[in-house]
Amino acid sequence: MDYEKIKPLFFRLDPEDAHHLVTGALQIGEAVPQLFNPWVKRNFVDDARLHQELFGRTFLNPVGLAAGFDKDAELIRSMTAMGFGFTEVGTVTPKPQPGNPKPRLWRHIQEEALQNAMGFNNKGSYHMQIKLEKRYPYVTPIGVNIGKNKVTPEKDALKDYEHGIKAFRELCDYLVINISSPNTPGLRDLQNEAFIDALFDMGKSLTDKPILLKIAPDMAKEEAVALCARAVEAGADGIIATNTSIDYSLVKEPKEVGGISGRVIREKSFEIFDAVADELFGKTVLISVGGIDSGYEAYRRIRAGASLVQVLTGLIFKGPELAGNINRTLLKLLEKDGFASIKDAIGADRK
């Protein structure tokens, strides 16, 4: 499939309508997985040099789908067909919620960026539990990204995360605490050390499954590093950096709402990740996300200390062969630099 030829047709549609059109088509393949066999053969790179053991699972390649695309765990087979080595579903909240009023998703085509004010629209934890009971355990690792409902007051936020941990601790390979989306009022206020302490104290008492923290890119570097270090001390098994940005100066014609993702946040995301890695590389698992749309950028994050990388917006602009292309480029770069495997390249710029 030549994505560049059909992309203009998709881009004539409202972004959210285009997403529903694509996911609706993918769900046909979910029901008839044999349809995906040619895609898996073309896109999924399974090379021993890319294998890693993390969180008690084998990651066949380091390129994962970030949370936000498969909000309800309905497209896990599809992501394997697209070549992803792992899938993070969600963000899921305890109760179903419609999200924010439409329109709430915009493209910035020249900048290869998206701006979303979705607001954790999802079918709720019960729906996702049913879906994951049919899929888990799966051939590739599955992460579940959990958040709080919009109507839940900040003082009761811990209860929503407790619900999410209990709901999915037997249905995934790792859990992610999302307190960094800009689209739920007050959510980023939870990015403080007191809440982090309470959160991981509660979470680690409920499950042995890895629990990771996802942070925003808009904090000062020192603040981000201190928060992540505190999270690791409190029991976090990894850090994901970063979520979307509310720096609206990154695009020419921004909406004054929501979070920006894609190529324009590449450097902002890298700078936060690099600062966190400078403090925590070797002490916890680091995952980098934000503006990654090529093997070269993925390799930069890996050399900076990322064991895994995630993409989402790049998938919209580059198409369904992106993960496969990134992995093939990674293999070439590993060979060029004389690394026997990806494990030798992780953090090479910090050693």
List b or e across 148-173, with b for residues whose CB sees 16 or more CB atoms inside 10 angstroms: bbbebeeeebbebbbbbbebbbebbb
What letter represents residue 287's amino acid? I
Q: Reply yes or no on whether 245 is catalytic.
A: no
Tokens representing residue 282 in the block: 């070797």
Question: Could you identify the residue written with the tokens 């995360």?
Answer: 161
Choosing from 125, 180, 181, 288, which is the catalytic residue? 181
Rounded Cα distance, 194 and 332, in Å: 45
Instruction: State the sign of the Cα–Cα–Cα–Cα dihedral 323, 82, 263, 239.
Output: negative
User: Helices (DSSP H) in 117-179: which residue ranges?
Assistant: 125-135, 157-168
Cα distance between the two ends of the chain: 41
On whether the CB atoms of residues 342 and 52 are closer than 8 A, the answer is: yes
Residues taking part in catalysis = 181
